[in-house]
Amino acid sequence: MKRFLLIALTMVMFRLDAQVLIDSLQNQLSATRSTEEQIDILNQLSHAYTLVSLSRAEELAQKALVSAQENEYDKGIATSFNNLGICASIQGKHAEGMDYFIKALRIRERLKDTKGMSHIYNNISRVLIYQGDYNLAIDYSKKSIALIERTDDPKALANAYVSLGEIYLKRNDLDKALQMYTTARDISVRANLSDYKLWTEAKRISVLNAQGKFQLALQTGLAIETSLPVHRDFFSTIELHQTIGLIYSNLNDFEHATKYLYKAKAMADSLNDANARITARANLSSTFRKFKAYDSAWYYNDNYIALRDEVFNAEKSRQIAALEHLYQSEQKDQMLAMRDQKIRTLTLAVIIGSLLLLAITALVIIVFRLYRDKKRSLVEMKRLNNDIYEKHEEILAQAEELTQANAEISRMNESLEMEVSQRVAEIKLQNQKLLEYAYFNAHNVRGPLARILGLCTLMSHESSIDELREYNSRLLYCAEELDSVVREINRKLSD
């Protein structure tokens, strides 16, 4: 009775924690005005409700989907499909979940949303893990990692490596599984994701348990359980409880083994997590069988078989395979369409090149004709030049006559030129005297000016007041001397 009360109390606490996030999102929803923001918050609410009520989560995702489709908001449509796929997958409706994920993936591909595509690839990988198609699940996990590494999303990258670890663990490749979980943990540590660090450590203990390191696995698992934050991932908590229960079973501790396995079963039933419900019943059956409690073992084995047949049957597996094949076929069709587009582009380029070649040929013909016409023009020009030469000879004869007339005019101007020459000689003489006078006075000015410059230089390096006063008096004397020279120059120029 105490065990069931503890489980019930734990579930109430989990739901209260989830309700805090839900209430916060509800407040945001009532305050927002943009339709796209409302759709985004509805999708966030849907994701939060997966921890409380899958039916409510589906209802909100459907509401967001209708609004996003009415407003042609592709990002919102893709997110709604993704949330619906998550709800369906949790309930064990894997074919329906795969259908939703592929619809979301088509939109993300059209939007070239690398981050969104990586998340959906990882979700598809998890569906394939549930179905036991591990080879294809590895392909999708690796696709997810390749895309995430092009973005800055350490949580998603850790998630993808955890999915790979689960696949290798299912295939009993323990070394690779531990390597993937360790990589996920290191990513969480580098990104300071404390919740994810605990989660990835929890994944590692399942490998330690499989390797037979029961005590180390138990110590690590119990330490993680006490360190779990208030707002935890309920599905990871179910997995942690199942792993601790199995470790206790391997340590032959029946009481603690069933305690943790019952915790996991109660949480899985409460959250309607079909995959965890199946695993919980299988673990309980094997544990009771190990401790020879055969009635309970048969009871949980019958439960396990009924649930497994309900969730994992051949028809649903074929549906999932058909959906995935359809998606791959569509991708191939898209690649063929792209190839056809390239062919059309190349054909167009060839046509354009041919047209350019014809244009160049036409241009060469035009240039040749222009050259021929130019040659003919040169012959005609040569004939015209001969005519011009003859006219030039006539002009030269007339020019000789003009030369004789100009000689007569020159004799008449000769007397005028002599008078001009005398006047020019007088001006030259005056200019010469002026230059000599300027040269003389320039030297007279240079002396005091040089002394002034020297004193200024000395003053710039002098800090003594007395010396500066002495330099100042000398500077004044030189300035007066210079002023006297300038006055003398002005006086002589005015004479």
pLDDT top residue among 386 and 44: 44
**Helix 35-49 vs helix 74-90: crossing angle, to nearest 10:** 10
Question: Residue 6: pLDDT above 70?
Answer: no
Contact 101, 85 (CB under 8 A): yes
User: Of the given ranges (3-17, 416-430, 450-464), which has the lowest mean pLDDT?
Assistant: 3-17
Count CB atoms within 10 A of the CB of residue 483.
11
Question: What is the per-residue pLDDT across 169-222, written as a single tens digit (0 to 9) for each?
Answer: 888 899 999 899 899 889 888 988 877 777 788 888 888 888 899 999 889 888
Least Cα distance to 196 among 211, 180, 183, 184 occurs for 184
Which tokens go with 396? Answer: 């030269």
Question: Residue 300: pLDDT above 50?
Answer: yes
Q: Which long-range contacts (CB under 8 A, 24 or more apart) does 100-103 make?
A: 101/127, 102/323, 102/324, 102/326, 102/327
Question: What is the per-residue pLDDT across 8-30, written as a single tens digit (0 to 9) for each?
Answer: 434 444 444 556 667 777 777 77
Question: Residue 494: pLDDT above 70?
Answer: no
Instruction: For tokens 């994920």, name the residue.
Output: 101
24-61 as b/e: b if 16+ CB within 10 A: ebeeebeeeeeeeebbbbbbbbbbbbbbbbbebbbebb
pLDDT cut 70: percent of the chain above it: 83
Count CB atoms within 10 A of the CB of residue 96.
19
CA distances from 343 to 220, 332, 337, 355, 476 (A): 60, 16, 10, 18, 94
Question: Residue 49: pLDDT above 70?
Answer: yes
**Helix 294-311 vs helix 274-290: crossing angle, to nearest 10:** 160
CA distances from 494 to 384, 432, 437 (A): 68, 17, 13
Supply the pLDDT for residue 382: 76
Task: Read off the pLDDT of each residue in 77-90 and give the average, rounded to a whole number.
Answer: 89
Question: What is the per-residue pLDDT across 384-419, written as a single tens digit (0 to 9) for each?
Answer: 777 777 777 777 777 777 777 677 777 777 767 777
Question: Residue 450: pLDDT above 60?
Answer: yes
Alpha-carbon distance of 323 to 94, in angstroms, equals 11
Supply the pLDDT for residue 3: 44
Largest CA distance in the chain: 154
pLDDT top residue among 244 and 343: 244
Residue 336 banded pLDDT, cuts 50, 70, 90: very low
Supply the pLDDT for residue 74: 92
Question: Residue 223: pLDDT above 60?
Answer: yes
Question: Residue 441: pLDDT above 80?
Answer: no
pLDDT top residue among 346 and 171: 171
**CA–CA–CA angle 232, 237, 239 (5° rounding):** 150
Question: What is the per-residue pLDDT across 461-488, written as a single tens digit (0 to 9) for each?
Answer: 878 888 888 888 888 888 888 888 788 7
Which tokens go with 483? Answer: 């002023």
Question: Residue 366: pLDDT above 60?
Answer: yes
Residue 338 banded pLDDT, cuts 50, 70, 90: low
CA distances from 367 to 41, 65, 359, 375, 381 (A): 71, 67, 12, 12, 21
Question: What is the per-residue pLDDT across 108-143, written as a single tens digit (0 to 9) for each?
Answer: 889 888 888 888 888 898 888 877 888 888 898 888
Question: Residue 106: pLDDT above 50?
Answer: yes
Contact 130, 112 (CB under 8 A): no
Q: Where are the alpha helices (DSSP H) in 32-153?
A: 35-49, 54-70, 74-90, 94-111, 114-131, 134-148
Three-class secondary structure of residue 191 per DSSP: coil
Supply the pLDDT for residue 437: 62
pLDDT top residue among 339 and 61: 61
Task: Read off the pLDDT of each residue in 147-151 and give the average, rounded to a whole number.
Answer: 86
Supply the pLDDT for residue 225: 82
Supply the pLDDT for residue 271: 76
Question: Residue 280: pLDDT above 80?
Answer: yes
Mean pLDDT computed over every residue of the chain: 79
Handedness of CA 232, 236, 242, 247 (dihedral sign): negative
